[in-house]
Amino acid sequence: MGEAGQLIKTQAGHPWEAATFAGHSCDRREPRPSMSLRHKFLLLLALTAAAPALVTGLLIRRDMEEQLAQALAEQHLRTAHGEAEHVATYVRAVAERLSESLAVPNNIPSETAQAEEWLTSLYGSQERMRVVGLFDGQARMTAAVSTGSRQDAARGGRPLLEPQESEDFQRRTKALLARAHSGRAYSVSEPYMTVLQQRPAVLVAGHAPDGQGPSLVAELSLDELSHRLATTNQGESRVFLLDGAGRLMLDGSSDQDGHSAHFQATSFARQGGTFHYEEGGRPWLAAFSPVPELGWMAVAAHPQEAPFASLRGLNPATPWLLALVVTGGLGLALMTFRSMGQSLAQLANGARQLAQGNLKYRIELARKDELGDLADAFNEMGRSLENAHRELVHVNGKLLAQVEEQTRDL
């Protein structure tokens, strides 16, 4: 009887390996933290779903930006329309009062002194007007007074009109009456800067009912409108007026030196109810509304990028994030499927080796997922089969030895 692990030959010459039974393998795969295939596929599914989600988010952001732009434009249009109506009412109130004073021509004094007293009694306390004059049908001034604190004691305390003011007032009035349309109750000049105070003003002329009689002309101050615009402008929002040529007319500025620049030709491209322009290197979005009967434009504007700052802050990051998600998803998918393919090929080769009787074959698969568990289970099965084979060889060897010994005894 041979020792364990040695070859024993029978009389027939068959070699048998006598091996001591080693028992069941104590090799157990210790638990280890890992990312299972299920987790990998869930992550891959999440990345795959993230790409269309990001695309949907981009589309939603674009739609939100369009809706916000539309709401902002509508708000600006309402603001501009309200300012246009206020300006029209402001000028129309003065024009209608001038026209009402001419409704009864017989009440208009013909003498200069009496006409000045008449004008002073009607308009001397009017803060909106600076100068009021009476002109005959040939556009010649017959009387004029200045609404202010300056008074001439020699002329009964009536407000004085400086010679320079009178000359400028007559020149502008003749130009206004020369182009006045017959049949209209009043006319309004283009805005200008007063000759002494350098403040914005317009001429408002009230005409006689028949269009042939005298006219009452007032120099209407726009300071009240300018003050209103100054109080309306809050933060970066602006409301301003353009004249008929598209030049800046009023914006609420209190800087007297800046008014000359306000009336320089600054053209704006108008499209529909909104237009875009640049100021200080920044794009502005504005809405305009025409001032009824005056040909002016009331404009409400706001920096174009301000309302969209929170949305457009996503612009630089979102495409990169989308590219990262798509690239990461594709990379993870390629790595996962390639690794799975190689591991499955090793498992298939191990199964073939085992089927061919190579019980010593082991699969070296360094994975911490289900495929790694399967490789460890395969190796454990191979070790168990190898031990079982050794036990069988050992038992068979012992049986053959006993048979040969009994045969010799016979």
Alpha helices in 277-316 (DSSP H): 309-312
Q: Which amino acid is at 247?
A: R
The domains of the chain are located at 7-34+318-404, 76-90+233-308, 91-224
The mean pLDDT of the chain is 74
The residue ranking higher by pLDDT, 84 or 320, is 84
| pLDDT tens figures, 265-315 | 344 444 447 777 777 788 888 888 888 888 888 888 888 776 555 555 555
Please give the CATH superfamily to which domain 91-224 belongs.
Answer: PAS domain (3.30.450.20)
User: Above 50 in pLDDT, residue 182?
Assistant: yes
Q: Regarding beta strands 15-17 and 7-9, do their DSSP bridges make them parallel or antiparallel, or are they unpaired? A: antiparallel
pLDDT, tens digit (0-9, with 9 covering 90-100), for 327-386: 766 676 667 767 777 777 888 888 888 888 887 888 887 777 777 788 888 888 888 888
Evaluate if residue 237 carries a pLDDT over 50.
yes
Strands (E), 136-177: 141-146, 151-152, 158-159
Token couple for 143? 């009387």
Calculate the CA 154 to chain-centre distance. Answer: 67
Among 210-214, 263-267, 394-398, name the one with the lowest average pLDDT.
263-267
- Write down the pLDDT at residue 382: 83
pLDDT in tens, 132-170: 999 988 889 999 888 754 444 344 555 567 888 889 999
**Residue-level pLDDT at 23:** 44
Confidence class of residue 240 from pLDDT cuts 50, 70 and 90? confident
Question: Residue 222's CB: how many other CB atoms inside 10 A?
Answer: 23
Position 173 scores a pLDDT of 92
* pLDDT confidence band for 89 (50 / 70 / 90): very high
| CATH annotation of 76-90+233-308 | 3.30.450
First and final CA of the chain: distance in angstroms? Answer: 18
Distance CA(339)–CA(156), nearest Å, equals: 109
Tell me the CB-side half-sphere exposure of residue 233, using CA atoms within 13 A: 21
Q: Determine what percent of the chain is predicted with pLDDT higher than 90.
A: 9
Residue entry with tokens 């911490």:
368
Whole-structure pTM value: 0.58
Q: CATH topology of 76-90+233-308 equal to that of 91-224?
A: yes
